[in-house]
A and B are shown apart, each in its own frame.
Chain A
Amino acid sequence: MPKVTFITRDGKEVVVPDGCGTLMEIGREHEIEGIEGDCGGVCSCSTCHVYVSPEWMERVGPPEDMEDDTLDFNEQRKANSRLGCQVELTDALDGLVVEVAPAED
């Protein structure tokens, strides 16, 4: 199972050695601030917004249309934004680093 590193809003690193499920699910399991996943992972609430480390963008891939639309309304969106609930962890993502996006105003 892949290892995932979250960079929290206060700049700390939280390493999840054996991530299983989606980025949102493991973020919640490890109580990472800013990874709320209020809607349970259906791309409705945008409370699991992360920035994917640039070197990982290609492997993680871009958002699908619905996720892209939801992100479009988020003031904190950047080119490397993803919603954690839409990123399923696979062995190909072993070593992934993501930063928790700031809350919206």
Chain B
Amino acid sequence: MPDPDDPFREARERCPIHLGDFQGETIPMILRHKDVRKAAKDWKTYSSDAPRRVPIPSEEDVRTVRQYPLEVDPPVHSEYRKLVEPFFLRPKLPEFQAKLDALQNRLIDEALQQDRIEILREFAIPLQSHALTYLLNVDEKEAETWIGWGVHVFKEGDGSSKGAFMEQYCRSMFEQAEQSPGEDFFSALNQAEFQGRKLSMEEKLGYANIAFAGGRDTIIYTAVRIIAYFADNPKALACIREHPEMINTAAEEFFRMYIPLTHIGRVCPHDTDVHGHTVQAGGRVSLAWSSANRDAEVFEDPNTVKLDRKPNPHVAFGFGIHNCLGAHHARAIMRGLILKLSERVERIEVLEREDHIEKAADYARKIGYEKLVTRWHPATKSY
């Protein structure tokens, strides 16, 4: 059985691509670090101008809108991206950091007070949902609605009806913001101009769609895996407590190791030779970030967490023009989480755990936990 944390290892060592089967569609997965970065930069050969088909499996059944700016190419890509960039830079603001600090302290207080806590539902989803209200600058009470959407908007339960519900929710948020505009994400998009015109509702829904779906399971699973790591490696908490300067490198190492997004797709506008396999025009390839992050040609001892790994040129946030807009947000959350756990928690006991495995026709990859029930023990003194 291949290691569920690195199911592509043998394939990657043998060949630059793996021909994956996704609902009957053969998609070459580009596996090696250098090749993935090269393909990610080459948007003319590997295009993102493919509404609802950039994710693999495609999301044609679960959403009606193109996601902006993910599913467009240059030259319009940068114009679309600039419209929302100020929101995604908010994690650099002191007031954002202060709110995030308070949120993380509150969640850690609750975890320490309980006899047992299921991390996914009682810690990570609330963390992600509340933090997103700070990013989008909306009323924090909206988080309660989003918490009900679960780990993944599309992949959990009935994806198509949940997707439709989310689109309807976003539509109503844009309409409300039209009636009473504020400084929030929805109002900003209502007022935004693209090439001298207002955005259409379809475009606005496309921005909102990725804001809600894109950074959701990724942040939730990464937080859960970091907590599981510290539960399994209690000395690491003490190590970070003694060496807080390691927080940034530790966060980057967790992003590398635990990237929940196995891969993302691109479409070849023309017949393309992909490392010996011909993709017909209109066909897709996969950029396998998760495989690239374990490439032994780049990362020494790639399946070991090294909290002080540096350099660490991982591609957990993608690479090139489409690099993750939410990276600042993810980094702020995980760095804060690591710092606070190290300061406030002595050790974490795992009482129950159940892996969440992404199953494709020819691989199974661990991307997080279905369930992680724990008991937390406070640090004996505050640091």
Contacts and interface: CB of A to CB of B under 8 A. Distances in A.
Interface stretch (A8-16, A62-70, A94-102): A62-70
Interface size class of A (residues with CB under 8 A): 10 to 19
Given A42-B313, A67-B311, A105-B74, A73 B251 contact: no
Interface stretch (B34-42, B229-237, B274-282): B34-42
A70 B311 CA distance: 11
A17 interface: no
Contact of B309 (A42, A70, A105): A42
A38 B328 CA distance: 7
Nearest to A75: B41
A66 B248 contact: no
Contacts of B38: 73
Contact of B252 (A39, A69, A73): A39
A9 B321 CA distance: 20
Interface residues of B, number: 27
Contacts of A43: 310-313
B249 interface: yes
B112 interface: no
A73 B248 contact: no
Nearest to B40: A73
Contacts of B37: 69, 73
B310 A41 contact: yes
B74 A40 contact: no
Given A40-B248, A73-B38, A105-B78, A66 B313 contact: yes
A70 B331 CA distance: 20
A86 interface: yes
B314 interface: yes
A44 interface: yes
A86 B313 CA distance: 12
A70 B313 contact: yes
Nearest to B319: A73
Interface in A42-93: 42-45, 64, 66-67, 69-70, 73, 86
Contacts of A70: 313
Given A38-B327, A38-B328, A41-B248, A73 B311 contact: no
Contacts of A67: 311
B248 A44 contact: no
Given A39-B252, A105-B78, A86 B311 contact: yes
Contacts of A104: 321
Contacts of A38: 327-328, 331
B225 to A, nearest CB: 19
Nearest to B256: A44
B319 A40 contact: no
A28 B34 CA distance: 29
A66 B298 contact: yes
A40 B317 CA distance: 14
B249 A73 contact: no
A44 to B, nearest CB: 5
B327 A42 contact: no
Nearest to A43: B311
Contacts of A105: 74, 78, 321
Interface of A: 38-45, 64, 66-67, 69-70, 73, 86, 104-105
Given A40-B331, A43-B311, A104-B321, 14 more contacts: A38-B327, A39-B248, A40-B335, A41-B248, A42-B313, A43-B313, A44-B311, A44-B314, A64-B311, A66-B298, A67-B311, A69-B37, A73-B37, A73-B320
25 contacts: A38-B328, A38-B331, A39-B331, A40-B251, A40-B252, A40-B331, A40-B335, A42-B248, A42-B249, A42-B252, A42-B309, A42-B313, A43-B310, A44-B311, A44-B313, A44-B315, A66-B311, A66-B313, A67-B311, A69-B313, A70-B313, A73-B37, A73-B41, A86-B311, A104-B321
Interface of B: 34, 37-38, 41, 74, 78, 248-249, 251-252, 298, 309-315, 317, 319-321, 323, 327-328, 331, 335
